[in-house]
Chains A and B, each alone.
Chain A
Amino acid sequence: MVAEKIITSKDVHLYYGEREALKGIDLDFMTHEITALIGPSGSGKSTYLRLLNRMNDLIPNIRITGDIRLHGQDIYAPETDIVQLRKEVGMVFQQPNPFPFSIYENVIYGLRLAGEKNKAVLDEVVESSLKAAAVWEETKDVLHQSALSLSGGQQQRVCIARVLAVKPAVILLDEPTSALDPISSSKIEQMLVNLKDTYTIIMVTHNMQQAARASDRTAFFLDGQLIEYSETAKFFTAPDKKESEDYISGRFG
């Protein structure tokens, strides 16, 4: 498979009021790869991730400059349809946040609101999405129970299924396993690796083993700057920058 660039970003700056939180980020993402964004808290990696589906738009006093493109289209252009963008670029959050409806409703909520009424189609989407999110076996008999009755790890996988059901091209994950136990985490990690044939995955993580195991490329953020971006194997064995090496070996962060 020839990797091509799906998202490109050039000289991206972000200011919270006077404070510059991102100081000129150039970063491109390849299709069908998992990219891990790592770095200490406050380094700007989550802020950057949330630029890619314009989740930062609601924050007051924010200023964004630079150029971010999805499939070559400027996503901050005035004519961009944000709702459409977010269907293309799905997002999973740190805390599992299912809606207080049934598991079934959670998965098809986006589709149903988009007007899909055919029950056979909806049933099929529920099954395939839950299977892809590796939570079908645990939920197939309780689909009409509240999603809140599931464990945290199961809830998170239902949230991933909910994103898959909309069929995005890119999935953003903001520390998706940091609130979960190690077994749930490794299930999700394994599932993400299986998903990358279909999707492009960009994941913020604090867990360096996770980045090393699951990702193809790693981007290391520090203090609002992108310090190093390279293939994961190279990044963790022979990083170019001293800061990267210090971070990997746990000397700060």
Chain B
Amino acid sequence: MNVKQQDKLATGILYTIAGIIILVLASLLAFILIQGLPHVTWHFLTAPARSFEAGGGIGIQLFNSFYLLVLAMLISVPLSLGAGIYLSEYAKKNWLTSLIRTSIEILSSLPSVVVGLFGFLIFVIQFKFGFSILSGALVLTVFNLPLLTRNVEESLASISSMQREAGLALGLSRWETVMRIIVPEALPGITTGMILGAGRVFGEAAALIYTAGQSAPALDFTNWNPFYIASPLNPMRPAETLAVHIWKINSEGIMPDAVAVSAGASAVLIVAVLLFNLGARWFGQHLYQKMTGTGKKGA
């Protein structure tokens, strides 16, 4: 076999592998959407779930998912920004910072069930937060922080050191250089990573089963006082999310239309995650183009 033939063969094999991957993904996606989308109606998206009869919706779970996501991001975005900036811009290379990096790597590869059980012991039991949105948001932070931190650190590290020199040589302090030049330049990458992280959090179930709980008490959407027990904003109430709901009705659902609800909820979940991903790409590119006035950079 000569070089040309080898090249053709290798290319063919690579195409086949890529094709298989795409086929698996596409058929999964198509299956979920075809099974689920017919059940998705406005009523389904807004009505509360029912336990014993058909016709329930996923309204509260959907709201819980978004509320939990917002709270989790409120906690984890500033923390990951701080940690990422420290690691990329300030940390000296020594045993301590390499220990931090290793810990972050290990933390990011922990199975989410383990993170969930850890959260159960610490936040639910020890801190007495109970099964609550707060416990859920904190555990999602633990789950998400390593990846977000890595993302921030890598986005900052990809900015040329010439930009740092330019800032310093202009008489900016190190802090000003980081905050006013390096972080803005890295913003497209950071934002993309944050949105992707949000998508991952949105679809997370295992870490939430033992922390945010598996029940979705009825909410009073007319009272937004966070201290009122049935208020949607109350962070101390248990909150079953969409992903947890799917898991639960498939393991112990007793409503007669459990299969349909599960299919519909899955379709909604996957569409939401898809939107997060597409949104991240679009937003990152848009931001980069707006800042540089140049063509595209890989998202």
Contact = CB atoms under 8 A, between A and B. Distances in A.
Interface of A: 53, 55, 58, 60, 83-84, 86-87, 90-91, 93, 95, 97-102, 109-110, 113, 145-146, 148-149, 159, 162-163, 166
A97 B162 contact: yes
Contacts, number: 69
Contacts of A95: 162
B171 A148 contact: no
A101 B181 CA distance: 9
A91 B293 contact: no
Interface residues of B, number: 22
A100 B163 CA distance: 10
Given A93-B162, A97-B162, A113-B180, A148 B168 contact: no
B294 A109 contact: no
Contacts of B180: 109, 113
29 contacts: A55-B168, A55-B169, A60-B92, A83-B171, A83-B172, A83-B173, A84-B171, A86-B169, A86-B171, A87-B171, A90-B169, A90-B171, A91-B165, A97-B160, A97-B166, A99-B167, A99-B181, A99-B185, A100-B291, A100-B292, A109-B170, A109-B181, A110-B171, A146-B291, A148-B294, A149-B292, A149-B293, A149-B294, A159-B166
B170 A90 contact: yes
Contacts of A162: 170
Q: Which label, helix, strand, loop or mixed, suits the secondary structure of the B interface? A: helix
Given A146-B291, A148-B294, 5 more contacts: A91-B169, A95-B162, A97-B162, A148-B293, A163-B170
A122 to B, nearest CB: 15
Contacts of B172: 83, 110, 113
Given A109-B170, A146-B291, A149-B293, A100 B185 contact: yes
B220 interface: no
B296 to A, nearest CB: 13
A53 B293 contact: no
Given A93-B165, A97-B163, A113-B180, A146 B170 contact: no
B53 interface: no
Contacts of A110: 170-172
A146 B171 contact: no
Nearest to B288: A100
A133 B165 CA distance: 20
Contacts of A98: 166
A145 B292 CA distance: 8
Contacts of A86: 168-171
Contacts of A91: 165, 169
